[in-house]
Amino acid sequence: MKDAGLDLREALSKSLVENGSAAAALADRAMPYARPSRDTAEEQGISIRFAAVLLVIYPMHGSWHGLLMQRTQYPGVHSGQVSIPGGEREVTDEDLMETAWREFNEEVGVAMATEAIFGPLSERFIPPSRFAVTPYLSILPQRPNWNVDPKEVASIIEFSIESLLGEQAMRPVSMEVSPGIHHPMPAYPIQGHEVWGATALILTEFMEHWKLLPEAVRNMP
């Protein structure tokens, strides 16, 4: 039997190489304004923090799914937000890929093989927290048994990848972009949550690659 996960990984890896710049540009154009880059922030003397996230794709209910998480409430700018599992690089991490692997294990309790991780997608700078975030991908052969850290994760959010396709998948939603200031921002409505900001941007870039995959690869065998 053909390994659907291996086929998917090979197709995505190929697209990252061949279509990376174009996918990133299309994702940027889907946002209402240009987001600052790490280079711009560094020119302004901003001290950058580095982080990595890991978007895992796995089979569930006969289709490919992905995992998001809602963070717990804490004194910080990302308190309570929906995000891709991940976090800040530690001095003991060999590189950002290890950061993504470690944080994923700490937050949702799945220690996958490091060679299962590939990528990355484009680095994204988040001004409020000064994070330069590098997203990585992983294709898992089956849905893991999650063992979340309740100190960091309020809930997990599983979604069908195909549900993010279509013109109505992302829509403008009024969000509080700074204290007391609301602005319509593009967001994905997923499981009762509005997924916006850098997470929506990363998902949009990923979906640009997904759209280019052969239908036989996108569909479960």
For 83-122, what is each residue's pLDDT tens digit? Answer: 999 999 999 999 999 999 999 999 999 988 889 999 999 9
Q: Which of 19-33, 75-89, 144-158 has the lowest mean pLDDT?
A: 75-89
What's the predicted TM-score (pTM) here? 0.92
Band the pLDDT of 3: cuts 50, 70, 90. Answer: confident
Domain that holds residue 212: 4-216
| Domain contains 131 | yes
Tell me the chain's radius of gyration from C-alpha atoms.
17
| Domain contains 173 | yes
**The pLDDT value given to residue 209:** 98
| Domain contains 211 | yes
The residue behind tokens 């960091």 is: 152
Of 142, 140, 63, the closest CA to residue 101 belongs to 140
**The pLDDT value given to residue 189:** 93
Q: How many domains does the chain have?
A: 1
pLDDT tens, residue by residue, 35-75: 888 998 899 999 999 999 999 999 999 999 999 999 887 65
Q: What is the mean pLDDT of residues 77-87?
A: 80
**The pLDDT value given to residue 1:** 38
| Domain contains 110 | yes
For residues 185 and 197, is the Cβ–Cβ distance under 8 A? Answer: yes
| Domain contains 161 | yes
Name beta bridge partners: 219. none
**The pLDDT value given to residue 89:** 97
Whether the predicted pLDDT of 162 surpasses 80: yes
Alpha helix segments (H runs only) across 172-214 = 197-212
| Domain contains 221 | no
State the CATH number of the domain containing residue 152: 3.90.79.10
Band the pLDDT of 129: cuts 50, 70, 90. Answer: confident
Give the number of C-alpha atoms closer than 13 A to the C-alpha of residue 137, restricted to the C-beta side.
27
